[in-house]
Amino acid sequence: MFTANQDYLKLPGSYLFSTVAKKTNAFIAAHPEAKIIRLGIGDVTQPLPPAVISALHSAVDEQANSATFRGYAPDLGYDFLRAAIAQTDYQARGCQIEADEIFVSDGAKSDSANIQEIFEKDCRIAVCDPVYPVYVDSNVMAGRTGEYDAQAETWSNVIYMPCTQETGFAPELPEQTPDLIYLCFPNNPTGAAVKKAELQRWVDYANKVGAVIIFDSAYEAYISEEDVPHSIYECEGARTCAIELRSFSKNAGFTGLRLGATVVPKDLKDRNGVALHGLWARRHGTKYNGAPYIVQRAGEACYSEEGRAQIAQMVGRYMKNAGYIRESLLSFGYEAFGGVNSPYIWLKAPKGMTSWEFFDYLLEHANVVGTPGSGFGPSGEHYFRLTAFGTYENSVEAMKRIQAMAL
């Protein structure tokens, strides 16, 4: 009789957002009259920019003609998109990244989960705490994380880097030396961002100890402050120590369309001189058949002049919500963070409530759904995440209800 992968069985409970959905649905079933406002899952709500829609239509029409029909896409991505990303996201920012160092994919979630496959099983990971849960869970599935301590909600072989109010929600350099360091700035869930000098410190550290930084830039379009890097390759020396994950989901509204890219510079080599670029190309070619042509054309449209203007407008609308939510919470006396370089607002649960207690309280008394901070890691306990991805009207209504909610 076969045996299922036992590493999967070590994962505690269900994925965070499945639990949020289950609890919300149970509440709705019991209170069908409730007008729920969802500020929980980080999903966009605005329609795709017109430039993207127009590119999709044209690319679809091409498929009706045998001269322009496309079958399998090149598994590493079409040159037109790889070139647009290299030029606009990197070279225009002074980053030395070439088109053939960019691997197009269906999004940053799958890449962030799959990238660990090109590293040995005994590599030690370091993660920010709290953090996007996929980084740890995918390493659990790969059998890299040791034993789970249910009390502490930590894995024995994972280095947790607490990101707390005291540290401005940024991690300190770890005492134990990791092999892989996951960094995500602007951060999900705390909304924190780091200045260039701070990120440079991480690049210097990784180069010194021989670690790889997996830098998730899914929210870079939301950066509003000067001197906050949009890419880790703005730092000197990042080509020899960093992989960067990019996503069109939050940057351009592609959560349903699906498109992302991962950058693996050719200079990034392990202790034996093995280039990770070749390994990721081999992995991609074996396990992935390429993002659809029509979607890659839609991605290309994000880099046109009109596409960029429309996306900036879209991001601006979400950031207006973020500012409103943040300022409202502060004025009600909540401790609230983020929302300046990020669509996430991170708040302290009032009256010493745990994250899940506040989740239930908010759902019951304000009919607002958020995300419990403890679901992102032990240091997230007593915190709570709200997103700015709803409509302005819903953001205003949610704040009105929170203000009216007796504590």
- CA dihedral for 26, 32, 34, 39, sign (positive or negative): positive
Count of residues near ligand PLP by CB under 6 A = 14
Say which amino acid occupies 370: G
Q: Which one, 188 or 379, has the nearer CB to ligand PLP? A: 188
Q: Which of 138, 145, 200, 255 binds ligand PLP (CB under 6 A)?
A: 255
CB of 406 to ligand PLP, least distance (A): 32
Question: Within 13 Å of residue 360, how many CA atoms lie on the same side as its CB?
Answer: 5
Which residues in the 106-125 window bind ligand PLP by CB under 6 A? 107-109, 112
171 makes contact with ligand PLP (CB under 6 A): no
Residues 6+ positions from 108 with CB-CB distance below 8 Å: 216, 218, 245, 246, 247, 249, 260, 262
Say which amino acid occupies 46: Q
Rg (alpha carbons) of the chain, rounded to whole number:
21
230 makes contact with ligand PLP (CB under 6 A): no
CB of 68 to ligand PLP, least distance (A): 28
Q: Which one, 247 or 341, has the nearer CB to ligand PLP? A: 247
CB of 184 to ligand PLP, least distance (A): 5
Q: Which one, 163 or 366, has the nearer CB to ligand PLP? A: 163
Tokens of 398: 């949610």
Q: Which one, 112 or 145, has the nearer CB to ligand PLP? A: 112
260 makes contact with ligand PLP (CB under 6 A): yes
Q: Which one, 112 or 296, has the nearer CB to ligand PLP? A: 112
CB of 41 to ligand PLP, least distance (A): 8
188 makes contact with ligand PLP (CB under 6 A): yes
CA 235 and chain centroid, separation: 20
Q: Which one, 247 or 355, has the nearer CB to ligand PLP? A: 247
Which residues in the 261-300 window bind ligand PLP by CB under 6 A? none
Residues 6+ positions from 151 with CB-CB distance below 8 Å: none
CB count within 10 Å of CB 41 equals: 17
CB of 34 to ligand PLP, least distance (A): 26
Which residues in the 18-77 window bind ligand PLP by CB under 6 A? 42
Rounded alpha-carbon distances, angstroms, from residue 99 to 89, 167, 292, 312, 378: 11, 37, 18, 24, 39
Which residues in the 90-109 window bind ligand PLP by CB under 6 A? 107-109
Which residues in the 125-154 window bind ligand PLP by CB under 6 A? 132
CB of 45 to ligand PLP, least distance (A): 14
Q: What is the pattern of x (binds ligand PLP, CB under 6 A) and - over residues 203-222? A: -------------x-x----
184 makes contact with ligand PLP (CB under 6 A): yes
Whole-angstrom distance, CA of residue 402 vs CA of residue 71: 51
Rounded alpha-carbon distances, angstroms, from residue 119 to 179, 180, 207, 397: 9, 9, 17, 47
Residues 6+ positions from 11 with CB-CB distance below 8 Å: 137, 140, 141
Q: Which of 116, 138, 231, 249 binds ligand PLP (CB under 6 A)?
A: 249
Whole-angstrom distance, CA of residue 372 vs CA of residue 40: 9
> Which residue number has the CB closest to ligand PLP?
107
CB of 190 to ligand PLP, least distance (A): 11
What's the angle, vertex CA 46, arms to CA 40 and CA 51, rounded to 5?
145
Tokens of 76: 């590493």
Strand ordering across the sheet containing 371-372: 336-338, 344-348, 383-387, 371-372
CB of 143 to ligand PLP, least distance (A): 23
Whole-angstrom distance, CA of residue 379 vs CA of residue 346: 12
CB of 260 to ligand PLP, least distance (A): 4
CB of 107 to ligand PLP, least distance (A): 3
Q: Which one, 245 or 301, has the nearer CB to ligand PLP? A: 245
CB 307 within 8 A of CB 51: yes
Whole-angstrom distance, CA of residue 371 vs CA of residue 405: 18
Residues of the shown chain interacting with ligand PLP in the complex, contacts defined by CB under 6 A: 42, 107-109, 112, 132, 184, 188, 216, 218, 247, 249, 255, 260
